[in-house]
Amino acid sequence: MGRQRWIGWLSGVAGIALLAGCSAGPSGGGAAGTTVTITKVGSVPWLAVQDGSGTWTAVTGSSFVVNDADGRYGVAWECAQSSGQALIGVTQETTADATTVVASCLFDQASSTYSVSGNVTGVPAGGSAFVAIGNSFSTVTSASPSYSYPQVNGGLQTLVAYGLTSSSSPDTMVVQRGLSIVGNGTHDIDLTTGQPFSMTAFSVAGVPVGESPSAAAALVPDGSGFVLLAYDSSAASLSFPQLPAALAASGDLYYLDGGAAVSSGNVTLRQEVGLTSQSPSSGSLQLPAALDSSAAFSVSSGTATAAWGSVPFLAGGGVGALYGDFSPNALTSPTWVVMVTPAWLGSGATTYSFPDLTSTSGWNSAWNFPTGQSGYATVAALHVSTAFSLDQLVGLATGRASSITALSNGATYLISLRIESGVF
């Protein structure tokens, strides 16, 4: 656990980038005799596939043929994490959903972080400056113009810094692309060399009574990666800067996110809506409905079951999937992450039992689903308005810049989730 995210339906839960393809909606099906291609990303030492409801079979190749009459299939894999904790990923879908699956452990390869600090010159007198490098961000003032980030992801990052006057009016902005983070170091910023910019605002609609809103805006530079532009953890509206033409690139996208959450005892309900846009304008983002009271995660006789209840927003076109995971507190116990499409579940189905992989060749008993363990269990529903791979959505939500490529301009993302802590 322990990963801080400025946005994310996976808050407090181990992240994994899973591809569940392009869903045709809950009435989708598939065709027999279709080849499914698997791409392994990162350290994936074990992989298994399932044809229809048949037995799980360990494979080493990059493709397999689905002969199930409805095109239903599954792919499961184990991630060799640097922490030593096993992580089991499972996706179950149909050939109508997708014929390509990414078995990705990429999130664990972005674990190298470094300390970056520096001073900001040109902060407006009596004003402030916002400084962001990837997922790290803070506000400095003219009286205290230094920043320090203990955990900046290594590799090439984008830096955005902008000043605001004492009346919160925009001053100047600096954008530095391809900033190489290869070790601890200092990086000073001079806003006097920046460009003038303007601010835009959006609001979050549909926040239920009693829930706490949040809003965030990020730049997706050249359509890949991200850098935060603005964030408010307790407001249903947000002002954020737009890059001036002199600092913009043709492939830049903005990602706007609104959320609402409420906690009761050991259960948290959260809804999120996101929008990608090349030219965002003032407006509002409509939150999806919360998961209903039948949403739950349970374990019985060593089998985990996720229940989602009714999820109306999955009935449309685009990409839709249901998600469940259990992240134990003990690193000696494995984390399980599952994504399943409505088409695989079948019409009207609202529950899913995690698969029994224990008889599959190469399976390690240390990977068995943990029972009687304390941790966090999540059930979630996701929907993307355009044909779009779900691994990109999960990569964006978990703040894994290297997982984000080819984001769709104008796409809307809807996420409703339930997180429960306890012993399962």
User: In this predicted structure, what is the pLDDT of residue 323?
Assistant: 82
- pLDDT tens digits, residue range 114-144? 999 999 999 999 999 999 998 789 999 999 9
Which residues pair with residue 335 across a beta bridge? 87
Q: Is residue 74 predicted with pLDDT exceeding 70?
A: yes
**Token pair of 226 as six digits:** 């991200």
Nearest 5°: phi and psi at 365?
-60, -20
Q: Which whole-number Å values give the CA distances from 236 to 46, 63, 257, in the listed order?
A: 44, 46, 10
DSSP states of 285-354: EEPPPPP-TT-EEEEETTEEEEE----GGGGSSSEEEEEEEEEESSTTS-EEEEEE-HHHH-TT--EEEP
Q: Which is nearest to 5 in space by CA: 152, 139, 140, 136?
A: 136
Q: Say if residue 112's pLDDT is above 50.
A: yes
Mean pLDDT of the chain: 84
Rounded mean pLDDT of 277-294?
A: 91
pLDDT per residue over 307-321, tens digit each?
998 888 887 666 678
- DSSP string computed for 117-139: EEEEE-PPTT-EEEEEETTEEEE
pLDDT at 88 over 80: yes
pLDDT in tens, 373-384: 999 999 988 887
3-state secondary structure of 192: helix
Higher pLDDT, 244 or 105: 244
Instruction: Give the pLDDT score at 319.
Output: 66
Q: What is the pLDDT of residue 367?
A: 93
pLDDT (average), residues 384-388: 63
Tens-digit pLDDT profile for residues 232-247: 999 999 999 999 999 9
404 and 396 in contact (C-beta within 8 Å)? Answer: yes
Confidence of residue 415 (pLDDT cuts 50, 70, 90): confident
In the three-class reduction of DSSP (H, G, I as helix; E, B as strand; rest coil), residue 155 is classed as strand
pLDDT on residue 81: 67
Q: What residues form DSSP beta bridges with 299?
A: 304
Assess whether pLDDT exceeds 80 at residue 396: no
- Which of these ranges, 34-43, 264-273, 283-292, 311-320, has the smallest mean pLDDT? 311-320
In this prediction, residue 403 carries a pLDDT of 39
Taken in order of first residue, the domains within the chain and their CATH numbers are 1-103+198-424 (no CATH), 110-193 (2.60.40.1120)
Q: For 333-340, what is the mean pLDDT?
A: 89
pLDDT of 400 higher than 50: no
More confident residue, 16 or 116: 116
Determine whether 410 is exposed, middle or buried from the number of CB atoms within 10 Å of its CB (0-12, 13-18, 19+). Answer: exposed
Rounded to whole angstroms, how far apart are CA atoms 328 and 310?
27
pLDDT digits (tens, 9 = 90+) for 346-367: 888 889 999 999 999 999 999 9
Instruction: Give the pLDDT confidence score for residue 420 in this predicted structure.
Output: 95
